[in-house]
């Protein structure tokens, strides 16, 4: 937030910097505070602007066997298209709408993109792109999931995902950076989980002792560890086969996980 700004309008203004002269821009989610910012920037750059969520919406979805099965419809049109994604985070349903609108705009510009190819690609995103760290299952029994959620919105989505997930007990390995919404994030996290507070090896990392102390004021219980792999190993040593271990709080925390160094 220190880099992007401390209001929605300021953050949107920084994000809108990607809008270029005369180049069509597709916006995914927006809020009443952010939409005018995007529109004004697009007007100043003479860039046609399209809001994906005003064009398409997710009619329904299911999450099965670490895949998302999504039905997408257009506003004002009863027809639907079905997609199967190899990504299991439910927030990917929102990203899918943005992707499909971007592809639609490319087609209008003359790009020939076959619908069958789109569906095939969406079914193997991880293989084609190396996509990493968004509700990514890296081990089973116990299930270990990595997710780079690190702000209020991301954690809200993560908590919704947890509601849809079956497990016996939840273990959360978490580390954060000092310029993020620490209090807002901590107050959203489930209080019935066991926590393993840690930090990433970067200057901006919030000290694990300080994170632990702050989390305690929000009734989150656990212990602190000097690095993510030590924390994760402690969770593995404690967890039962039908438990869930979630690693989250920072891109840097997820990036530092070394599955090959862990013992099961």
Structure tokens belonging to residue 141: 């029994």
- Residues 141 and 252 reside in one and the same domain: yes
* Size of the chain, expressed as the number of residues it contains: 264
- Residues 238 and 140 reside in one and the same domain: yes
- Residues 107 and 157 reside in one and the same domain: no
The range of the structural domain enclosing residue 218 comes to 136-261
CA–CA separation, 29 vs 19, rounded Å?
16
Note whether residue 141 is domain-resident: yes
Structure tokens belonging to residue 146: 């990595």
Per residue of the chain (264 residues), what is the pLDDT tens digit?
Answer: 455 667 889 989 999 999 999 999 999 989 999 999 999 999 999 999 999 999 999 999 998 777 899 999 999 887 899 999 998 888 899 999 999 999 999 999 999 999 999 999 999 998 899 888 889 999 999 999 999 998 888 999 999 999 989 999 999 999 999 977 899 999 999 999 999 999 999 999 999 999 999 999 999 999 999 999 999 999 999 999 999 999 999 999 999 999 888 888
CA–CA separation, 168 vs 239, rounded Å?
10
- Residues 39 and 60 reside in one and the same domain: no
- Residues 41 and 150 reside in one and the same domain: no
- Residues 152 and 227 reside in one and the same domain: yes
Note whether residue 2 is domain-resident: no
- Residues 41 and 116 reside in one and the same domain: no
- Residues 120 and 69 reside in one and the same domain: yes
CA–CA separation, 48 vs 201, rounded Å?
42
Across-strand partners of 145?
Answer: 137, 246
If one counts the domains in the chain, the total is 3
- pTM score of the predicted model: 0.81
């Amino acid at each position: 937030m220190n880099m992007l700004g401390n209001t929605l309008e300021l953050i949107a203004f920084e994000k809108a910097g990607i809008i270029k002269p005369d180049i069509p821009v597709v916006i995914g989610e927006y809020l009443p505070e952010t939409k005018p910012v995007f529109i004004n920037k697009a007007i100043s750059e003479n860039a046609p602007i399209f809001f994906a969520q005003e064009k398409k919406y997710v009619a329904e979805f299911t999450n099965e066997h670490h895949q998302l099965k999504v039905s997408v419809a257009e506003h004002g049109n009863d027809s639907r298209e079905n997609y199967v994604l190899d990504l299991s985070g439910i927030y990917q349903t929102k990203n899918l709408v943005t992707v499909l609108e971007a592809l639609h705009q490319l087609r209008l510009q003359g790009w020939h993109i076959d619908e069958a190819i789109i569906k095939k690609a969406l079914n193997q995103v991880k293989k084609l792109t190396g996509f990493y760290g968004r509700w990514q299952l890296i081990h089973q029994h116990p299930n270990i999931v990595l997710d780079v959620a690190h702000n209020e919105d991301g954690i809200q989505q993560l908590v919704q995902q947890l509601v849809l997930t079956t497990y016996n007990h939840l273990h959360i390995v978490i580390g954060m950076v000092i310029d993020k919404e620490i209090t807002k994030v901590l107050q959203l996290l489930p209080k019935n989980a066991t926590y393993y507070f840690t930090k990433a090896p970067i200057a901006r990392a919030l000290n694990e002792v300080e994170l632990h102390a702050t989390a305690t004021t929000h009734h989150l219980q656990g212990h602190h560890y000097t690095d993510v792999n030590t924390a994760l190993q402690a969770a593995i040593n404690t967890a039962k086969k039908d438990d869930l271990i979630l690693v989250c709080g920072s891109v840097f925390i997820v990036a530092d996980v070394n599955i090959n160094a862990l013992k099961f």
